[in-house]
Amino acid sequence: MSVAVSDLFFRVRESKPLVHQITNFVTVNDCANATLAIGGSPVMTSSPREVEDMVKLADALVLNFGTIDDKALEAMEIAGKMANSLNTPVILDPVGVGATSYRTEQVAELLKKVTFQIIRGNASEIHRLMGGDIVTRGVDSGELAISNAELAARAANKLNSVVVVSGAKDAVSDGKNTSIIDNGNPLLTSVTGTGCMATALIGTFSGVTDNFYAAAVAGISTMSISGELAAAKLQKDEGTGTFRVRLIDAISRIDKEIWINEVKLYEEVSN
Ligand SMILES: Nc1ncnc2c1ncn2[C@@H]1O[C@H](COP(=O)(O)OP(=O)(O)O)[C@@H](O)[C@H]1O
Ligand SMILES: Cc1ncsc1CCOP(=O)(O)O
Ligand SMILES: [Mg+2]
């Protein structure tokens, strides 16, 4: 598996997959730059009148719920259905699902209409996406009583997709096999868009392989390793602003050798 992942860095830079992203207005520029940094070609467009034509050109489609409105949802449905009909991978980032009933209801509707090859969210988002029926550690705690690995495996089975649960430890699962990535740095939680960028990277890798599990591992581990590399470069008197720039630097420099040296990847087989 790690061999399949490490080969994707060269493949992305060689073939520059076009990644169509219908995303939020907070982190759109960071997602475009993360896509470029890893070697892909981003296009961020969301008019319902244009997305069908754009997705015909694309190697992958990323749908991000960060700032959804009715028009964006219409575009997501049109683009998602077209991508499904062309066998172009579709990746979901259910930003903020569970926070409002609008988000929660609309993502459930989209899941009925569009097939997603990969879904990436934090534990809370993935938990709410699969119905939110897992017990939490206590009445005042939002913390789930199961690990990210177990959550990813359950969600993958329920949603019939490769699922990435990000956090202090990231987990990737297809429902049978589960991988844990123990890279990252807490500074990644102090900059907006690191989850969105991770999803953009996953989308970029999925544009060069039909091994969506490997694409998911490549994307999320690239973000977590880049967080470590960027934090290590921070100088005295530098903070989260510089960290954000250094993150893009790190993504642009990561390759097969760096990934093999830095990744802390554990594979679990469940069921
Ligand atoms: N506590 C943490 N320690 C180290 N890395 C983290 C931590 N929390 C999140 N990350 C990393 O930050 C990136 C974004 O993940 P996350 O914060 O879960 O996404 P989101 O921004 O969508 O909530 C991932 O690479 C993840 O591994
Ligand atoms: C702050 C914010 N508000 C709506 S979308 C968004 C960005 C969320 O980005 P991420 O999930 O990567 O932190
Ligand atoms: Mg997020």
Tell whether ligand 2 has an atom less than 6 A from the beta carbon of residue 191. no
pLDDT score, position 267: 86
What are the DSSP calls for 174-204, one per residue? SSSEEEEE----GGGGSSTTHHHHHHHHHHH
- State the Cα–Cα distance between residues 73 and 65, nearest whole angstrom: 9
**How many other β-carbons are positioned within 10 Å of the β-carbon of residue 87?**
8
52 torsion bin: left (phi>0), alpha (psi -120 to 50), beta (else):
alpha
Encode pLDDT of 29-68 as tens digits. Answer: 999 999 999 999 999 999 999 999 999 999 999 999 999 9
Tell whether ligand 2 has an atom less than 6 A from the beta carbon of residue 188. no
Q: Is residue 263 part of a domain?
A: yes
- State the Cα–Cα distance between residues 53 and 82, nearest whole angstrom: 9
- State the Cα–Cα distance between residues 262 and 254, nearest whole angstrom: 10
Pocket of ligand 1 (CB under 6 A): 122, 166-168, 170, 184-186, 188-189, 194-195, 198, 220, 223-224, 227
Domains of the chain: total: 1
- Domain ranges, residue 199: 2-132+142-165+172-269
What letter represents residue 44's amino acid?
A: M
Does the structure's ipTM exceed the value 0.95? yes
Q: Is residue 137 part of a domain?
A: no
Mean pLDDT (whole number) for 18-29: 98
pLDDT score, position 271: 43
Encode pLDDT of 196-226 as tens digits. Answer: 999 999 999 999 999 999 999 999 999 999 9
On the CB side of 146, CA atoms within 13 Å amount to 18
CATH code at 152?
3.40.1190.20
> Is residue 217 classed as helix, strand or coil in its secondary structure?
helix
- State the Cα–Cα distance between residues 101 and 106, nearest whole angstrom: 8
pTM exceeds 0.80: yes
Q: Is residue 233 part of a domain?
A: yes
- State the Cα–Cα distance between residues 215 and 54, nearest whole angstrom: 22
96 torsion bin: left (phi>0), alpha (psi -120 to 50), beta (else):
left
Encode pLDDT of 218-262 as tens digits. Answer: 999 999 999 999 999 999 999 999 999 999 999 999 999 999 999
Ligand-binding site membership of 44 (annotated): yes
Q: Is residue 73 part of a domain?
A: yes
Nearest CA to ligand 1 atom 25: 224
Closest atom of ligand 2 to CA, residue 193? 12
167 torsion bin: left (phi>0), alpha (psi -120 to 50), beta (else):
left
DSSP, res 150:
H
Ligand-binding site membership of 193 (annotated): yes
Encode pLDDT of 99-154 as tens digits. Answer: 999 999 999 999 999 999 999 999 999 999 999 877 666 655 567 889 999 999 99
Q: Is residue 13 part of a domain?
A: yes
